[in-house]
Structure 1
Amino acid sequence: MSQAFERIRYEVRDQVATLTLDNVRARNAFDPAMREEMRQVVTQLRADPHIRALVLTGAGEHFCAGGDLRNIATVGLDNAGWRARLQSLHDWLKELITLDRPVIAAVDGAAFGAGFSLALLADFVIATPRARFCMSFMRVGLVPDCAAFYTLPRIVGVQRARELMLSAREVSAQEALQLGIALELHPPEQLQARAQALAASFVNASPVAVGLVKRALAAPGHDLPTLLEMEANAQALAMGTEAHRTAVNRFLNKEPALFQWPAL
């Protein structure tokens, strides 16, 4: 199944969804049309239990160059208008962050401003050596958005997040790997295949276990007793699934596990 919008492409194949930002002339800038189309797709994705993973990527040689500054300069909203616009964006961003299936961002070229923030929404970021990440908001007198205040400190720590946000400096692919922003680096010609392989591996994973892991890791502020209680509840649910029983039987019968993280 494939759907073409004005600013994105959405495809589902073999239980893996691929959302491609597709406004190549503007380096896939995050404009109002793209935001609305992504909202529609995220709603559709969450309602489809057959989809086991999502790949988020950009068309051409860039992931996303950030917000559409021409639109920002001409839209003419007042303070209340901008607040309402951001709150409407937050509705589907929360739906994507809390998605109970893995999200893999495949980043080539620029991931600037909102593009960097969008990449950080993923569970795994893989990139090419020519990828560049930048919290560029300070360059235009703005603060980071698209949930970056939530995502970036959780990955790099508060001090480094503060430095990246306030300096608005570029981060190379190699530094992104060192900081834990990127999980892996791959040549441009191999990036999409690797992203699809990672996503496809979760087709054979327990969807209940995957969702429970993501939910538990989204709550790092809880104290130890609370987390242990969450662990007990989650494991009890996982123990009762068909996926668990099948995996145990395959192990006892000396059959290979259905879920295998793909080798490099």
Structure 2
Amino acid sequence: MPEFETLTFTQTGPVTSIVLNRPEAANGMNDTLTRELVVAAALCDTEATKVVTITGAGRFFCAGGDLKAMAAAPDAGTFVKGIADDLHRALSTFARMDAVLITAVNGTAAGAGFSLAVTGDLAIAAESAKFTMAYTKAGLSPDGSSSYYLPRLIGIRRTQQLMLTNRTLTAAEALDWGLLSEVVPDADLTARADELAQQMAATSRTSNGAVKRLLLDSFGNGIEEQMELEARYIAGCARSADGQEGIAAFLGKRAPAFG
């Protein structure tokens, strides 16, 4: 297991926990954090992992890109491109892996932190969490897949409002808009994330991976293409060990024991 400087990585059975761990910098993304996130994501993309949780240490989930590091770089453009490229490699892995990604937003999620928060297959937040794009306030443009996910989650008009006016949403507003799966009291966030992780750990990794791939492809396909994928994926699931176990358990009127 590699030694991480800016995050903690804990594997407990089929559940992996990642904690962004730069609390002194509001968990801001510098080149070290995004580079380590690529490594962490690759470690999650294995058959041994069924669930991944991501949260932040301290008061912030993630305040976005580390502007101090950007200002200190000899070439800000090259530096930021490297950070964005690494972040995008990590997010692509999280999106394409079979494991379910749970984002547990413990505090303010700004900029790339906002982008990361909404990539969760299941996104939960503490009541006190706040969400803001904040990019244009610093003369920057969005990254971290937000221009992909936000229009799909909340539509173009609301996305424009968030990105152009930097409106701040409360957790309750983010839930109402469709950015989150659920909101819980601050004191309950860790326990709820753990409970949800254990619930997902008992499900089929094969099925979950198929769900993720189908949903990622759905906006780019016509109905016939999408139905062909559905037919192929459900057939693959039926052939798999998880599919065989699920069918047998249903017919035997017992709980399935997925691998």
Q: TM-score, normalised by structure 2?
A: 0.93
User: Which of residues 173, 180, 183 is equivalent to 2:181?
Assistant: 183
Matched letter for residue 241 of structure 1: S
The answer for the alignment partner of 1:237 in structure 2 is 236
Question: What fraction of aligned residue pairs are identical, expressed as a percent?
Answer: 32
User: Which of residues 118, 121, 125 is equivalent to 2:119?
Assistant: 121
Change in Cα spacing, 1:29 to 1:225, as seen in structure 2 (3 Å) is same
Q: Within 2, Cα distance between the matches of 1:83 and 1:59?
A: 25
Q: 3-state SS of the aligned residue for 2:140? A: coil
The answer for the alignment partner of 1:192 in structure 2 is 190
Superposed CA offset, 1:199-239 (max 9, x none): 22222222211111100100122110101111111111111
The answer for the alignment partner of 2:26 in structure 1 is 27
The answer for the alignment partner of 2:64 in structure 1 is 66
Q: Within 2, Cα distance between the matches of 1:188 and 1:4?
A: 30
Equivalent runs, 1:1-264 vs 2, <5 Å: 5-46=4-45, 48-77=46-75, 79=77, 82-83=80-81, 85-219=83-217, 220-258=219-257
Q: Within 1, Cα distance between the matches of 2:198 and 2:32?
A: 29
Q: 3-state SS of the aligned residue for 1:44? A: helix
Q: Shift of the alpha carbon at 1:52?
A: 0.5
CA contact (8 A) 2:112 2:144 kept: yes
CA contact (8 A) 1:3 1:9 kept: no
Q: Within 2, Cα distance between the matches of 1:131 and 1:100?
A: 28
Q: Within 2, Cα distance between the matches of 1:135 and 1:187?
A: 23
Q: Within 1, Cα distance between the matches of 2:188 and 2:96?
A: 28
Say what the alpha-carbon RMSD is for the aligned residues.
Answer: 1.8
Q: Shift of the alpha carbon at 1:4?
A: 5.5
CA contact (8 A) 1:128 1:185 kept: yes
Matched letter for residue 41 of structure 1: A
Q: Within 1, Cα distance between the matches of 2:229 and 2:61?
A: 36
Change in Cα spacing, 1:183 to 1:251, as seen in structure 2 (3 Å) is same
Change in Cα spacing, 1:111 to 1:78, as seen in structure 2 (3 Å) is closer
Matched letter for residue 127 of structure 2: P
Q: 3-state SS of the aligned residue for 1:208? A: helix
Q: 3-state SS of the aligned residue for 1:189? A: helix
The answer for the alignment partner of 1:262 in structure 2 is none
Q: Within 2, Cα distance between the matches of 1:125 and 1:60?
A: 19
Q: Within 2, Cα distance between the matches of 1:21 and 1:115?
A: 10
Q: TM-score, normalised by structure 1?
A: 0.91
**Structure 2 unmatched ranges of 5 or more:** none
